[in-house]
Amino acid sequence: MNRMLSSLMLAGLMALSSAGIAAQDEGAPWGRAAAQNGDYTPQRVVYDVAVDSVGAMESVLDRVSYLNNLYQADPFESSIVVVLHGGEIPFFAVENMARHGELMRRAQSLTVAGPIEFRMCTVAARAHGFEPADIHGFVTMVPMADGEIIKLQREDDYAYMR
């Protein structure tokens, strides 16, 4: 009997609290999210990038830039490495500067303004028809993206981001 009474009381309380919430804001029955402020300690981060559109690459640059700002562009405590190995490779080709100049100027400026660097997979670049000399000079060519990401994670203690 006590168990049944407890269950009924609990159900009643839940119904009352649900009704109260619904009465407050029918469009947001669970209330509204609250923003949490906080500081992030600068870290070493590797971004694994394989995107196929300018918009997607701009989004990566937005995220990298924002994280760098949160880390206050601290070159002693933070490092952000962007490893390129997908459809974005042609954006970084010198021959495509006229088409992707604005995107490239933005990417290059990130390497000047903080502890951000771009590394590109030589194997993937060749699959796109590019040799290291075909890629803008602010990019470092590495033998293989997967190997570079594994090295950064295992040997250099970088956090992984996709």
Q: How confident is the model at residue 3 (pLDDT cuts 50, 70, 90)?
A: low
- Cα distance between residue 81 and residue 111, in whole Å: 10
- Contact (CB, 8 A) for 118 and 107: yes
Which residue from 117, 160, 106 is spatially nearest to 142, judged by alpha carbons? 117
Report pLDDT digits (tens) over 61-107.
999 999 999 998 888 899 999 999 999 999 999 999 999 999 999 99
Both tokens assigned to 144: 């293989």
Was domain 44-161 assigned CATH 3.30.930.10?
no
Q: Which residues make Cβ contacts (< 8 Å) with residue 141, sequence separation at least 6?
A: 119, 120, 122, 125, 132, 135
**Residue among 74, 83, 65, 7 at smallest CA distance from 43:** 74
Q: In whole angstroms, give the CA distance from residue 111 to residue 87.
A: 21
What pLDDT is stored for residue 35 in this prediction?
93
**pLDDT (tens digit per residue) in 28-66:** 999 999 999 888 899 999 999 999 999 999 999 999 999
Question: What pLDDT score does 38 carry?
Answer: 81
The one-letter amino acid code at 62 reads D
What residue ranges do the domains of the chain occupy? 1-35, 44-161
Percentage of the chain beyond pLDDT 70 is: 85
Task: Please give the pLDDT value at position 45.
Answer: 98
* pTM attached to this predicted model: 0.81
pLDDT tens column, 95-148: 999 999 999 999 999 999 679 999 999 999 999 999 999 999 999 999 999 999
User: What gap in Å lies between CA 139 and CA 80, rounded to an integer?
Assistant: 13
Closest CA to 46 of 18, 79, 20, 75: 79
In angstroms, what is the C-alpha Rg of the chain? 24
